[in-house]
Structure 1
């Protein structure tokens, strides 16, 4: 299989039977600039260690989640579905604290695996049983993320951008 990738004025042709995707991970510079938090209170990636309630170990008045935080003794993958669940848990804990109640442990778990592999290409593993690939997998992935957006305007903006990319072939990607 050959893929022709066009980005701006550069064209590159790749011959492959396997597509490999990799990504790095780096903390936001704001996180890096918080020097009040000791290295012992961070994991090997520099993310904050938090309690099961998602409060910083040394600063319990501060909550952190997503890829800038690691639950102490319970590492979770730094993916959006975990961060989304943790965000809801933090909101619930802030409400509890405002009512003079104790914050509760935030239990986040992987619901499904959705991996974007390129334009119109993705893999969706549903219920740890069913694997859907290619364009159908991409549609499932896109619909899942649209359903997770917080307000209809975000949903509209994301849908508009995806539709514009599709109609006007903004990223000239073709397989030969």
Structure 2
């Protein structure tokens, strides 16, 4: 029985890959997972971990599953003719497949802006959130030292976020909450120093949201003192300052770059047909064009004739569909093409306020914040994570965020 199973190799442990791993029928497939990360990361709550509202351990779930072979390694290439993937983690090895799922996600796109890769922080992985949190606390501690004069504390406590999408907006909102609460409590001498600037190359932030919700977010940020610089692309980044297209220089203590997605090295090197953004083109069954035994889902893929946002909701929906489709293929049953059902978008804007842009409801404010929290709590992939996140939220509310550096 086991020898007759098709060999299914899954590359990645993100939303799309993890959804396939959980739902695939192991009686039909001999499953091997290859990923440099041995855990699933619930990325919608990554901004909350950067300031300690949620702890790092509370948004990761182990990728290893019973009945699944797991290799913590990087995939360096794919040979479709021989049906092999080439991997490395110190040593190199190859894994053979009958069917392959590419779900390696995307990386942050620097758009070729000089200095971004060298000086800006990004937010894709747990290690990125850890670096941001350490940098925030380091800026606070340094700014509190005596003898710095007036300019240096102001520079250190100027936090610049580049990118007006949901991630950038939520990081700016979480930073505001941290400075307004723990900053004032534990660093009273710096109460008037912190500044948060959100820089967006496009004409407005949260461009995919409803117009009334975008307006509310802008008003909320104005009330909170978060400066929004829309329509001002960044053209250069240096160690302690960045330059806008209008020639203005902004000094900063922390710079987060959250301006869009780009292809991973693996995807960039694959000789598959791709769309303009270098994502792998698939049909409406997620089969890679010209390679029906290879599937691509999540942020690394683009379905011909459809444009879907690069979100965890989309990736999870694609992964669940692909698992069901593969299970039906394994049983010799017909498969329906993928149809995406949009459930809406959420964004936190600070001060216990949020936006909820749903097909049948446009919510904002405190009630939307309650909906935002309850929705993410419900979407966490295990009971353990649900309990830990709930405990973290209660702990932050009662005792405040942990501002220790370690």
Query: Same-fold call, TM > 0.5?
Result: yes
Larger CA deviation: 71-80 vs 57-66: 57-66
How far does residue 18 in structure 1 lie from its aligned partner after superposition? Answer: 5.8
Partner in structure 1 of residue 317 of structure 2: 85
Q: Shift in Å at residue 118 of structure 1?
A: 3.6
Deviation at 1:87, TM superposition (A): 1.5
The Cα offsets for residues 117-172 of structure 1, whole Å up to 9 and x where unpaired, read as 246331013343x3322332122112112222332123223323333333343289
Provide the residue aligned with 1:108 in structure 2: 340
Question: RMSD over aligned Cα, in angstroms?
Answer: 3.1
> Unaligned 5+ residue runs, structure 1?
none
Q: Which moved more, 1:136-145 or 1:18-27?
A: 18-27
Q: TM-score, normalised to structure 2's length?
A: 0.35
Partner Cα separation in structure 1 for residue 298 and residue 398 of structure 2: 33
Given candidates 378, 383, 403, the residue that maps to 1:147 is 378
Contact 1:47-1:68 at 8 Å conserved across structures: yes
Please give the alpha-carbon distance, in whole angstroms, between the structure 2 residues aligned to 1:60 and 1:165: 49
Corresponding residue for residue 368 of structure 2: 137
Provide the rounded CA distance (Å) in 2 between the counterparts of 1:162 and 1:135. 16
For residues 37 and 145 of structure 1, do their structure 2 counterparts lie closer, same or farther at Cα, with a shift above 3 Å needed? Answer: farther
Greater length-normalized contact order (CA 8 Å, ≥ 6 residues apart): 2
- Tell me by how many angstroms 1:57 deviates: 1.6
- Please name the residue that 2:261 is paired with: 26
* Counterpart in the other structure of 1:13: 195
Deviation at residue 92 of structure 1 after TM alignment: 0.4
Aligned length: 163
Q: Any idea what SS the aligned residue of 2:276 has?
A: coil
- Choose which of 270, 288, 301 in structure 2 pairs with 1:36: 270
CA distance in 2, matches of 1:63, 1:171: 43
Determine the C-alpha separation between the residues in 2 that align with 1:171 and 1:57.
Answer: 49
| Distance in 1 of aligned mates of 2:345 and 2:328 | 31
**The structure with more radius of gyration:** 2
The gaps in structure 2 that reach 5 residues or longer are 1-50, 52-132, 141-156, 158-192, 198-217, 222-227, 231-256
Which secondary structure state, in structure 2, belongs to the residue aligned with residue 61 of structure 1?
Answer: strand
